[in-house]
Chain A
């Protein structure tokens, strides 16, 4: 018999062990990117503000009641048509009397441009479901986003989200601001 050799440690299973760890991390980790709808809250009321002087036609009222029913511009509305209505109100291509007014403004890279004076006023009840509230917010945001996309496409040849130049995207933001105002909520139907 020859001399005993020190046996080599079998490293073949090392890969399996590492695989186990890897799979553990793969399974346990949530690679969720946090996404959401961003909003800016207004500063609290001090009590001595005067109500701003806004023409009735420049306000697009959206009410959501405690049963998630919509009232859009004093008529029962539907969530599926809200986006188109909000868009038409803000854009008002035919300059209709009952939709928003606009003023000419000079915004540097865009030049003279019509800026809508329209404001979307959103009021919800304390009993409105959060799902409905987000759906409404989403549709209103979508209306503004679509208008921004259209303007950006016309002026710069690409969508608003794809603009790299900061001046350009700031100009678009100024031309089509997120004009959503939230009224103090009502309390009628909280369960």
Chain B
């Protein structure tokens, strides 16, 4: 049988790529570990307002979230702003029990560090936010944080 003559090896050798998958897997694991999947699915539309003087929220495990905005499915639930607690719509009266259950689920020593983050859409009116704040006051959740987007300069645009 005829045999093909092997080509003489050229000077440049192919780079060994067998460790490439390992490197990619390392990256993959990094992302898998560091990312926090959002615990709740948003059912209200939220575009946070802009602000420049923002602080980072430390210790995310001690933050409980209240979402306020228009329902995403506005054909089903209308366009009136609603409060979302955990995974469902709620009323202002549900906030004390929400605060209590959030407190229950945290370690006793950490309870006084719980911050309530208000994630509110920029286009809604303050009325509902005020109601929520009053309820929070009554429930003893005094530390709050208005969630905002950090920008270099606020575009005041149509604001006076």
A binds B: yes
Contact surface of A with B, Cβ cutoff 8 Å: 11-12, 14-15, 17-19, 21-22, 25-26, 28-31, 33-44, 66, 68-70, 78-80, 124-135, 137-138, 141-142, 145, 185, 187, 190-191
B: residues with CB less than 8 A from A are 17-18, 20-21, 24-25, 27-28, 31-32, 35, 38, 48-57, 60, 63, 115, 117-118, 120-127, 129-130, 133-134, 136-138, 140-150, 154, 156, 159-160
User: Hey, which chain A residues are within 8 Å of B21, CB to CB?
Assistant: 11, 14-15, 17-18
Cβ–Cβ < 8 Å partners of B120 in chain A = 130
Let me know if A36 and B145 touch, CB within 8 A: yes
Mostly helix, strand, loop or mixed at chain A's interface? mixed
CB-based nearest B residue for A125? B126
Closest A residue to B47 using CB positions: A131
In-complex Cβ contact of B54 among A35, A41, A80, A133 (8 A): A35
Contact A185 B28 (CB under 8 A): no
B160 touches A38 (CB 8 A): no
> Which 7 A-B residue pairs are closest in the complex by CB-CB distance?
A126-B127, A29-B35, A18-B24, A14-B21, A131-B122, A35-B54, A34-B57
Of the candidates A22, A40, A79, the one whose C-beta lies within 8 Å of that of B160 is A79
Q: A35-B148, A36-B148, A78-B160 are in contact. Are A129 and B122 (CB under 8 A)?
A: yes
Tell me how far the C-beta of B61 lies from the nearest C-beta in chain A, rounded to whole angstroms.
12
B127 touches A21 (CB 8 A): no
A14 partner residues in chain B, CB cutoff 8 A = 20-21
Q: How many A-B residue pairs have CB under 8 A?
A: 166
- Bound complex: CA of A37 vs CA of B121, how far in Å? 15
Contact partner of A35 (CB less than 8 A), chosen from B32, B124, B147, is: B147
- Chain A residue nearest to B69 (CB atoms) is A130
What are 27 A-to-B residue pairs whose CB atoms are below 8 Å? A11-B21, A15-B17, A18-B21, A19-B24, A22-B24, A22-B27, A29-B31, A33-B57, A35-B55, A36-B48, A37-B146, A38-B145, A40-B143, A41-B136, A41-B137, A44-B134, A66-B125, A79-B160, A124-B126, A127-B125, A129-B124, A130-B120, A130-B123, A131-B159, A132-B160, A134-B49, A185-B126
Which of B53, B118, B146 has the most chain A CB atoms inside 10 A of its CB? B53
Q: In the complex, are the beta carbons of B17 and A41 less than 8 A apart?
A: no
Q: A35-B149, A37-B51 are in contact. List 8 more A-B contacts (CB 8 A).
A: A18-B21, A35-B57, A37-B146, A43-B137, A126-B125, A126-B130, A132-B159, A134-B51
Smallest CB-CB separation from A128: which chain B residue? B126
Q: Are B144 and A141 in contact (CB under 8 A)?
A: no
- Given A68-B160, A185-B130, are A34 and B63 also a contact pair (CB < 8 Å)? yes
Min Cβ gap B103→A in Å is 16
Counting chain B CB atoms within 10 Å of each CB, which of A34, A39, A127, A185 scores highest? A34
- Using Cβ atoms and an 8 Å threshold, which residues of chain B touch A12? 17
Among B20, B130, B141, residue most surrounded by chain A Cβ atoms (within 10 Å): B130
Closest to B31 in A: A25
Q: Assess whether B126 is in contact with A126, with CB atoms less than 8 Å apart.
A: yes
A135 to B143 Cα, complex, angstroms: 20
